[in-house]
Structure 1
């Protein structure tokens, strides 16, 4: 789109699910967004779901059994519609209520949790779909403003100290521990919020991909404000 800010040239916007699912990635476009203004009280659902830990999977049966206000029911209908549409597309959507994700403290100089900018990888062609209905929203980073952490000299040196193996096995070590999936944002990089209610499709690193995978990360949650996230 000609009127997009420079930082968003890798994003394509659509107005319905059919176009979201059918539009291929091409060129530098590796994120497609179905923009929506949703109605309903999604926060009520996060409060009514019985939490089982920091991340609670909400199955469709439980969702349907929740006793909700009229606004909560409107929100539930949207969730059920999105789940149905994604399943019909062949995806396997999961609805989560998230207090927080586990943080990786095994390597303090290089966390590999979802709060770090990273790409998704798959051995088969696939896409990542996600939508934040309530709470803090996920973020993406233009590929031109992110650098693979394993290529940053001081980080690479630390990883080599950690590895301590034969040189020919170093790249496999990086892949096996998912170090090669993570990126560092440039200073003052244009970090883009995915917003609330919009359904996104992000490019994944897979053997047949024609575009760079989309750099994204989970937000830092606010205490007492659980996220409602659909992802697949």
Structure 2
């Protein structure tokens, strides 16, 4: 299959949903891509949806209520099918119309919002699925091109000042406030953009995980343009 992801050791590319869910992460692979060239007018769907908050969850009923052109209807069927496939798998997919996420600007030396490179953590064995249908798409980063922020000396020192407690409790403090989930790219890092229309499965940090979790971030949105994103 010819695509921009085939030559990357971190990514396995598949051509069906069945392969996406049944192939396991192994070795360096912590991102699996169901590579698709979607038909349909997703921009029309975005233009007819109502943004109620900066992140508005769109229900199946919301989608079905839209009056769409033929191309818009093709796009809607793609989204509905993705929601069905993931729901049948036992996942809880969420379709979001996004203006922007909340920014974390409380601390000037470390950011812990989704625009910062981070990994997802779960107490149970699970995966993150996501697909951007419209707008800017997320980035992932090879694990060897990122440094955990809590290991950067100047950041670590400031976190110790913030903690202001017993040394034995410092690591617990870092986890409790999710500081340990965030990474900064190395100087030579080459982020990989996930593109539009592809459905991705990303490795999550959990007790049974056999590979490194996938480092990813939300993109900065384009001005005056919403994102339409499926995630679970």
Name the TM tier (shorter chain).
Answer: over 0.9
Give the CA deviation at 1:139: 0.3
Q: Which residue of 2 aligns with 1:123?
A: 123
Partner of 1:8, secondary structure, is: coil
Distance 1:163 1:215 in 2: 25
Distance 2:162 2:170 in 1: 10
Q: Which residue of 2 aligns with 1:42?
A: 42
Q: Which residue of 1 aligns with 2:56?
A: 56
Q: Which residue of 1 aligns with 2:168?
A: 168
Give the CA deviation at 1:201: 0.1
1:189 aligns with 2:211: no
Distance 1:59 1:175 in 2: 33
Give the CA deviation at 1:8: 2.0
Q: Is the 8 A contact 1:99 1:221 kept in 2?
A: yes
Q: 1:4 to 1:193 in 2, by over 3 A?
A: closer
Q: 1:159 to 1:226 in 2, by over 3 A?
A: same
Q: Deviations over 1:163-211 (max 9, x none)?
A: 1000001001000100000001001301000000000000000000000
Distance 1:69 1:30 in 2: 38
Q: Which residue of 2 aligns with 1:26?
A: 26
Distance 1:107 1:200 in 2: 32
Q: Which residue of 1 aligns with 2:96?
A: 96
Distance 1:76 1:4 in 2: 26
Distance 2:152 2:68 in 1: 50
Q: Deviations over 1:108-165 (max 9, x none)?
A: 2111000000000000000000000000000000001001000111110010111100
The 5 A counterparts of 1:77-88 are 77-88=77-88
Q: Is the 8 A contact 1:7 1:142 kept in 2?
A: no
TM-score with structure 1 setting the length: 0.97
- Consecutive unaligned residues of structure 2, counting only runs of 5 or more, are none
The 5 A counterparts of 1:2-17 are 8-17=8-17
Q: 1:10 to 1:71 in 2, by over 3 A?
A: same
Give the CA deviation at 1:7: 7.8
Decide which moves more: 203-212 or 3-12: 3-12
Q: Is the 8 A contact 1:140 1:215 kept in 2?
A: yes
Distance 1:107 1:31 in 2: 31
- Consecutive unaligned residues of structure 1, counting only runs of 5 or more, are none
Distance 2:5 2:188 in 1: 15
The 5 A counterparts of 1:102-113 are 102-113=102-113
Distance 1:100 1:218 in 2: 10
Q: Is the 8 A contact 2:6 2:12 kept in 1?
A: no
Q: 1:95 to 1:4 in 2, by over 3 A?
A: closer
Partner of 1:132, secondary structure, is: strand
Distance 1:158 1:67 in 2: 54
Distance 2:28 2:129 in 1: 18
